Structure 1
């Protein structure tokens, strides 16, 4: 979930290290008049030592670019077990990546830079509520199994309490004042005879 560059060797939280791939691609159709390209999340892959620790462009042309952002640590926290359970039990469990457009150092076009990676629905929801750019990509089977095991161990569903029937509650109007209900029909026209 958090970008960790200096992490102690012995961490008590379960974690996996990943690398994020962001791709710039051309926009097709009428939208291309206003925006010739867009950034999308290409993939989240297991981190390898050969990736190094610094972001770099793997491929670039006039219409396409592929950037590698290595060395992201995705940790699992017991207090967010419900968020992991929601992800693990969904039809397509996935990684969630929050990213932002950052101006390039050379004054060129902005580059998409990941800010956080998570496996929790709750994290993704908070980021979306904050109007951040959030995309997802399917997690591999071994990560899903690991996530499901963690969620099963730490998530305890809340017991639903019986709600008091609505018929036993006092009636109030929209201002909180007592209200009454009448079964008599009201006369139309003020009750005067013609």
Structure 2
């Protein structure tokens, strides 16, 4: 039996997400939520969400403990994010069905394709700008792993036999 070479560990970083909740942002809503920032996770943050600021109207909460791994099969999505001109974090978040004053982040990604699938599935997805150091880290990974599909020229349909037209 031939040993299978071990797969090199995937690049990963740990991050925390900051969500802001606003009470009665207008006369039609009781609560509004937004993703404010994605920051490097620090051991001092602990494992549980913690309120950073709450003045009764605006509340910012830090949610630590998200691990973001890069995958080769998402390299095209990373490339699309980076080539957009303004690369971002994509954050999926949810609101509690029973208590609409509570919301939390579910997952974090850097892949434009993955964010598109979440949006197609009717998920709540917000984005916040990447810092230059994370963008450079993602760019290095994408440069090493993304190979665009070669473009194939399609023959005009008028040159294809009628029984082979699609």
**TM-score category by the smaller chain?**
0.7 to 0.9
Query: TM-score with structure 1 length normalisation?
Result: 0.75
Any conservation in 2 of the 1:102–1:110 contact (CA below 8 Å)? yes
* 2:29 counterpart SS class: coil
Specify every segment of 5 or more residues in structure 1 that has no aligned partner in the other structure, as ranges.
Answer: 1-10, 177-194
Runs of 4+ in 1 over 6 A off after TM superposition: none
Q: How far did 1:37 drift?
A: 2.8
Q: Deviations over 1:76-118 (max 9, x none)?
A: 00111101111112211111000000257xxx64311101000
**Residue 129 in structure 1 maps to residue 123 in structure 2:** no
Cα distance between partner residues in 1 of 2:80 and 2:148: 11
> C-alpha root-mean-square deviation of aligned residues, in Å?
2.0
Aligned equivalent of 2:49:
55
Among 138, 141, 158, the residue aligned to 1:150: 141
Paired position in structure 1 for 2:12: 15
For structure 1, which segment, 71-80 or 18-27, has the greater mean C-alpha deviation from structure 2 after superposition? 18-27
- C-alpha contact (below 8 Å) 1:89/1:148 kept by paired residues: no
Q: What displacement does 1:119 show?
A: 0.5
TM-score normalized by the length of structure 2: 0.87
Aligned pairs, number: 157
Task: Give the 3 Å change call, closer, same or farther, for CA 132–100 of structure 1 in structure 2.
Answer: same
| TM-superposed deviation, 1:62 | 2.3
The match for 2:4 is none
In structure 1, what is the Cα distance between the partners aligned to 2:59 and 2:76? 36
- Residue 42, structure 1, aligned to residue 39, structure 2: no
Q: Which structure has the larger Rg? A: 1
Distance 2:71 2:39 in 1: 21
Aligned residue number for residue 85 of structure 1 = 79
C-alpha distance in 2 between matches for 1:156 and 1:53: 38
2:107 maps to which of 116, 119, 132: 116
CA distances 1:111-148 after superposition (whole Å, capped 9, x unpaired): 11101000000110111011000000001001001101
